[in-house]
Amino acid sequence: DGGITQSPKYLFRKEGQNVTLSCEQNLNHDAMYWYRQDPGQGLRLIYYSQIVNDFQKGDIAEGYSVSREKKESFPLTVTSAQKNPTAFYLCASSTKRDATNTGELFFGEGSRLTVL
Amino acid sequence: GDSVTQMEGPVTLSEEAFLTINCTYTATGYPSLFWYVQYPGEGLQLLLKATKADDKGSNKGFEATYRKETTSFHLEKGSVQVSDSAVYFCALPYSSASKIIFGSGTRLSIRP
């Protein structure tokens, strides 16, 4: 089945540790995105990538890092510099570099990170 | 800058009630507008969209009309079901980048 796979689904981290969330898609999409979801705040864009080996900061990139070495993979690292990392993280992809034409992002099922 | 404002939840209705979730936007030009839905434990999925003024998007009994005069894109359904319980997000593309802005989400709960 084609889709986006995020792992792990649940993750616990101690303060001061870095953690990497995986996002893999087999839809052959050019663009990929990472969003953070907090209660009452909707989705906020962390990073996005329109093509391999290139990515841009979103609205809340501080304390996060990404890489895009392969078209199908866009891992997100939550670093110890992120002040409040407990949240639900959603990865998405789109068919074109400009997702705004269709508006259709395809989302994974998310990863819930809890800092202990 | 571009923004989306949608009504705060949670919204609780009885089955077969009429639903309206308000969404207004601020944007340069006339962007496409979208509604996404997030069912419990899942990621978001596109529910419906409208690409120009006066367009009506529809899917699964839901409708939304792109109103340029009031800069609104309210989501409606005539008779909700328990299975409609979810979080609904209004969204629009940034005018100058390949990004989509999401509203804060409205949680909908339907009582049997």
B45 contacts on A by Cβ (under 8 Å): 106-107
Under an 8 A CB cutoff, do A43 and B44 touch? yes
Residue B101: predicted pLDDT:
87
pLDDT at A83: 87
Residue A48, chain B, CB below 8 Å: the answer is: yes
Question: What per-residue confidence (pLDDT) applies to A74?
Answer: 98
Check pLDDT > 80 for residue B98: no
Chain A, nearest residue to B39 by Cα = A109
Question: For the segment B21-75, what is each residue's pLDDT rounded down to a tens digit?
Answer: 999 999 877 788 999 999 988 889 999 999 889 999 999 999 999 999 999 999 9
Please indicate whether, in this complex, the C-beta atoms of A104 and B102 are within 8 angstroms of each other. Answer: no
Which band of pLDDT confidence, cut at 50, 70 and 90, is reported for residue B1?
confident
**A4, A42, A110 ranked by CB distance to B104: nearest:** A42
Confidence at residue A42, expressed as pLDDT on a 0 to 100 scale: 81
What percentage of chain B reaches a pLDDT higher than 70? Answer: 96
The pLDDT of residue B94 is 72
pLDDT the model gives residue A1: 66
Q: Is the peptide bond before A8 cis (omega within 30 degrees of 0)?
A: yes
Which pLDDT value is given to residue A103?
67
Residues of B in contact with A48 (CB under 8 A): 98-99
Q: How far is B13 from chain A (nearest CA, A)?
A: 20
Identity of the residue in A45, A101, A107 whose CB atom sits nearest the CB atom of B99: A45
Q: Which DSSP category does B9 fall into?
A: S
* CA dist., res. A27 & res. B105, Å (int): 27
Cross-chain Cβ contact A103/B46 below 8 Å = yes
* Interface contact B98-A98, CB threshold 8 A: yes
- Per-residue pLDDT 10s for chain A (116 aa) are 679 999 999 999 998 899 999 999 999 998 999 999 998 778 899 999 988 999 999 989 999 999 999 999 999 999 988 889 999 999 999 886 656 666 688 999 999 999 98
Nearest to B45 among A31, A58, A107 (CB): A107
Mean pLDDT across B87-110: 85
pLDDT for position A101: 65
Average pLDDT value for chain B = 91
pLDDT for the residue numbered A34? 96
Buried b (16+ CB within 10 A) or exposed e, A62-98: eebbbebeebbebbbebeeebeebebebbbbbbbeee
Q: Which residue of B has its CA nearest to A110?
A: B43
How far apart, in Å, are the Cα atoms of A47 and each of A12, A38, A90, A106, B87?
22, 16, 11, 16, 23
CA-angle at A69, arms to A68 and A72, nearest 5°: 75
Q: How much is the pLDDT for A105? A: 87
